[in-house]
Amino acid sequence: MTTIDTAHLAAMFAAIADAMSADRDRLCSLDGVIGDADHGIAMELGFSAARDAVAALDAGTTEPTTLLNTAARSFLNAVGASSGPLYATAFMRGAAVVKGKTTLDEADMVAMFQAMAKGIQDRGKAETGEKTMMDAWAPAATAAGEALAAGTGLAGSLAAAAEAAKAGAEATKAMIATKGRAARLGERSLGHMDPGAASAVTVIEAMRIALTG
Ligand code: ADP
Ligand code: MG
Ligand code: MG
């Protein structure tokens, strides 16, 4: 039985921040092809800010909802790009789902994960197939729910989510962007992976490793 507490969530943000630093140049290159080449910097800045803000909280007395709202605020303040409000909304929605809980079990965690994906969808209004981070987050959220229902636990759920995100990001190569900056390119966006979908894979994989090893 998995029990996630505030310290686990703080470690998760630290792990995502590390992963974003390691992935920064690749994400900027992907964004350079169909956007404005800042996506890696935005994600590194955002998750570094979130990591620092949640690390400054008292892990002994802070509840998960407060930690996630703190992450959301600091991410939004740090990031000027479109990914700022999208991930801030994700963490705010995740915070809302776990309100009142001091520790989170695997069902709570999957509910939080699915709320994050729904938050990105509500904020950005992108459907799957529009070549955005939704093409990674939406199948990941579905896969996490299905795996949980099949009894795989949090490790299996996040593994299924990471797999689905990876396939979703890969599939964006064959899509024409109709949302975000890349939409201006129209058909010229074909053949290239969406940077936001690529970074979503990195986020989800870092969450998986940090929370379930
Ligand atoms: P910007 O385009 O402002 O420089 P980023 O480079 O940080 O922002 O992020 C670009 C990514 O944001 C895109 O690759 C795409 O995945 C995602 N994105 C853009 N618009 C939307 C939207 N409306 N809904 C979901 N994701 C979006
Ligand atoms: Mg950009
Ligand atoms: Mg930009």
For the stretch 61-82, pLDDT in tens is 899 999 999 999 999 999 999 9
Please give the pLDDT value at position 91. Answer: 98
CA of 209 to the centre of ligand 2 (A): 27
Q: Where do the domains of the chain lie?
A: 6-212
CA of 151 to the centre of ligand 2 (A): 38
* Cβ–Cβ < 8 Å for 2, 153: yes
User: Does position 2 have pLDDT exceeding 90, yes or no?
Assistant: no
User: Does position 208 have pLDDT exceeding 90, yes or no?
Assistant: yes
Please give the pLDDT value at position 213. Answer: 86
Atom of ligand 1 nearest to the CA of 34: 14
Proximal ligand: closest to the CA of 180: 1
CA of 47 to the centre of ligand 2 (A): 16
CA of 52 to the centre of ligand 2 (A): 23
Residues with CB under 6 A from ligand 1: 31, 35-36, 38-39, 42, 81-83, 86, 120, 124-126, 132-134, 179-181, 194-197
Average pLDDT over residues 74-92: 97
How does residue 212 score in pLDDT terms, banded at 50, 70 and 90? very high
How does residue 60 score in pLDDT terms, banded at 50, 70 and 90? confident
Proximal ligand: closest to the CA of 196: 1
Query: Which residue's C-alpha comes closest to atom 5 of ligand 1?
Result: 39
Please give the pLDDT value at position 137. Answer: 99
How does residue 32 score in pLDDT terms, banded at 50, 70 and 90? very high
CA of 18 to the centre of ligand 2 (A): 20
* Cβ–Cβ < 8 Å for 81, 42: yes
The fold adopted by the segment(s) 6-212 is 1.25.40
Please give the pLDDT value at position 93. Answer: 98
Average pLDDT over residues 10-28: 98
